[in-house]
Chain A
């Protein structure tokens, strides 16, 4: 039995069959329940944890049907929806499929009920109030009519109100004036009713993206070693490559699903820079990716099925390099980037993408080489003199300079003093006024306003490692808009031994707050 805090009291949130036979009910106070049943096993209910575990459990069911969703209208866990369109024949019919799925869960100790119907709403209603049924389309309305109104996924207040009016079954609602019902019980009642009867389409969001092309292998005996998994991946990649080859397709993303015997699914995704179907290359990407797993790989009690799915398909022709053609090696390069990305992480291998702005740290965006976008043609026109290296975040320097616009004469940076012999400047860079709300701010590391390099292990392949517009981050002292503090004056300075730095001044002499100096980059 599980409890959670409701309105300041510890009340029962969920209980099993045995507990309900003993006379306990949901919403009961815990101390009352303990008094009724002395040997009660009481655990606190952690909703987030349950939802998480349940979603993993849901993923595992994708070995039965490609579209699996967690039904979260009523609670974030507990209800599982499988779209079995075109799948049931693999199990020998709908009846046998239902009994197989329910049976295998009951066999390991879950109390489960299920039903098959044409709409999500109806299937939910039957699974909860008339389990085990398989309702054909023609009988849907008639069968639903006998069920109580609770079966419509309504709130307690709505159910209470309906019962008060004497409307106990769904059939009684059907002939009523819809507008009157909506006025009294809210629009959700009508919505749920239509969803159950099929008047309104209810969308199911699959937890795992649907892959048109996949190859899978089931094992009579569960396997555990990572090496075995990778060997299987190689075989599957060959199968998948052949299937893609017959359609002249190549894929850019590959997802590996490892179904464990203890009802969990591990996913592993890799992306390729250009569409490919070369089995050796695909397998190598997974080998590299798995080296980055380290402790995360846990086969549990073993893996009984492996599926390799291909996504982001595009037509790819087999190219034969002729004897007299010049092979420019672009494909080799793309493969190198793939291998490096798969092992080092998508944000580790980047290229500089010029951006049309003159704010230095924003003028270059670091973009993953495997997800490259087209360059802005305006960005490269007449590049100004810029340093060879930029510090991810400018470092403050102490400067003695001529007032008001002279270059630095002396500066102290990282506790070392420099005497400036040559200098040029200033080059004034102002805030881009057309970006409202984005001032010329000093960005915090790691840089160029970019996300930090974190191993992206998110299983969701929809999240491509494409970087968004850098978020506007401000140093606290630059918050308020003041035309005098949003100006940077850049100087190229050379010290007595020839080191060349790029320093800038924020603010002007004579303003309310004294200007501050920063070092931003190194010249060659």
Chain B
């Protein structure tokens, strides 16, 4: 009687446990998360499972809008019925350099101004404390940390700590960093995001259209099940989330798309006339 074929991944994990070191908390969480049937390309990775530490790199401070937009797009996928809050942490001294998140602008990313709670913090140790506290809260879907500087306190050990915390609580952490240097970190995913020249509005090609991101995945440590060959991708943020675009196929004519479904008119506006008569 032939013995049932053992699960290769399971065996590998066992060997790793025997040979090298005990499986760390965040590693163990990942094995169970390698679900079947998920798209294994880069677009699928934009809906990464919760409980991971991401790094989002932008080249310069003036691309802070791009970095935040991309991060909100990632974090938005993590909102569930039980986890309704996103927390954004920033050093208060850096607000003028990279700008403060602006509540009304969130609506384009499907978030109400209320969803994102902003922490304006004085020092880096306090910021790390706030990050760990927020990660531990089970009602928080994701924590976005925006750091324009490169503080010494945020070293490999600190990022390892954050990664373990994130895995333990099932809350994702997003570190937005700037510059071209890469420090050692325990992040599971490292994104490099650049703005892309947008496609223009359907009826006005000279006006800026939907936000476009040129993304590159520089680091991917999600286990064997989630490897991908594709490293570069250009995506647009639309009403339906991230949509992949082919940069070579530039539409010359205005895009033909079905008319956008009309938004429900607010009741207060509709009622006003009828009551006036």
Contacts and interface: CB of A to CB of B under 8 A. Distances in A.
Interface of A: 326-330, 332-333, 335-337, 339-340, 343-344, 347-354, 360, 363-364, 366, 369, 375, 377-378, 380-393, 413-414, 416, 421-424, 445-448, 453, 492-494, 496-500, 521-524
Contact of A386 (B66, B105, B206): B105
Nearest to A349: B119
Main DSSP-derived SS at the B contact region: mixed
Given A326-B82, A500-B195, A523-B211, A383 B102 contact: no
A389 B62 contact: no
A524 B117 contact: no
A352 B114 contact: yes
A524 B208 contact: no
A329 B139 contact: yes
Interface in B56-106: 62-66, 68-70, 72, 81-85, 92, 95-96, 98-106
B101 A388 contact: yes
Interface string B172-213: 000000000000000000000011111011001011110111
Contact of A351 (B104, B107, B117, B126): B117
B99 A524 contact: no
Interface stretch (B35-43, B127-135, B158-166): B127-135
Contacts of B85: 333
A476 B125 CA distance: 39
Contacts of A447: 95, 100
A473 to B, nearest CB: 16
A498 B247 CA distance: 13
A522 B65 contact: yes
Contact of A393 (B84, B96, B200, B211): B96
Contact of B197 (A336, A369, A421, A523): A421
Contact of A381 (B84, B103, B266): B266
B150 interface: no
Given A343-B126, A522-B64, A424 B204 contact: yes
A388 B69 contact: yes
Nearest to B67: A524
Contacts of B63: 499
**The 4 A-B residue pairs with the shortest CB-CB distance in the complex, in nearest-first order:** A524-B69, A352-B103, A522-B65, A329-B139
Contact of B118 (A366, A446, A524): A366
A375 B120 CA distance: 22
Nearest to A388: B105
Contacts of A329: 82-84, 137-139
B113 A364 contact: yes
A414 B62 contact: yes
B139 A383 contact: no
A369 B115 CA distance: 12
Contacts of B104: 352, 354, 360, 363-364, 383-384, 386
23 contacts: A328-B84, A329-B82, A329-B84, A329-B139, A335-B137, A344-B119, A344-B130, A352-B103, A352-B113, A363-B104, A380-B112, A388-B101, A389-B65, A389-B98, A389-B102, A391-B96, A392-B95, A393-B96, A413-B62, A421-B197, A492-B207, A499-B63, A523-B69
B101 A389 contact: yes
A364 B106 CA distance: 12
Contact of B82 (A328, A498, A522, A523): A328
Interface of B: 62-66, 68-70, 72, 81-85, 92, 95-96, 98-109, 112-114, 116-122, 126, 129-130, 133-134, 137-140, 194-198, 200-201, 204, 206-209, 211-214, 237, 266, 268-269
A494 B196 CA distance: 10
B70 A340 contact: no
A388 B69 CA distance: 7
B100 A498 contact: no
A389 B133 CA distance: 25
A380 B107 CA distance: 10
Contacts of B208: 422-424, 492-494, 500, 523
Nearest to A391: B99
A453 B90 CA distance: 13
Contact of B65 (A350, A388, A424, A497): A388
Contacts of B122: 344, 348, 453
Contacts of B209: 422
Main DSSP-derived SS at the A contact region: mixed
Contact of A522 (B99, B108, B213): B99
A354 B95 contact: no
B137 A332 contact: yes
Contacts of A364: 102-104, 113
A447 B118 CA distance: 14
Contacts of B62: 413-414, 416, 499, 522
A378 B237 CA distance: 28
B204 A524 contact: no
Contact of B119 (A348, A360, A383, A499): A348
B139 A498 contact: no
A54 to B, nearest CB: 34
A386 B109 CA distance: 11
A524 B120 contact: no
A415 to B, nearest CB: 12
B198 A422 contact: yes
Contacts of B237: 524
Contacts of B114: 351-352, 375
Contacts of A347: 120
A387 B104 CA distance: 8
B160 to A, nearest CB: 23
B268 to A, nearest CB: 7
Contact of A343 (B84, B129, B134): B129
B65 A500 contact: yes
B266 to A, nearest CB: 5
A12 B128 CA distance: 58
Contacts of B266: 381-382
Contacts of A337: 117
A522 B101 CA distance: 9
Contact of A328 (B81, B108, B206): B81
A340 B101 contact: no
A381 B271 CA distance: 14
A344 B207 CA distance: 42
Given A393-B96, A423-B206, A445-B96, A521 B102 contact: yes
B140 A333 contact: yes
A383 B68 contact: no
A500 B194 CA distance: 12
A524 B133 contact: no
A353 B198 contact: no
Nearest to A395: B96
A389 B207 contact: no
Nearest to A332: B139
A348 B92 contact: yes
Given A352-B118, A364-B102, 6 more contacts: A352-B103, A390-B100, A424-B208, A447-B95, A523-B65, A524-B213
Contacts of A327: 82
Nearest to B129: A343
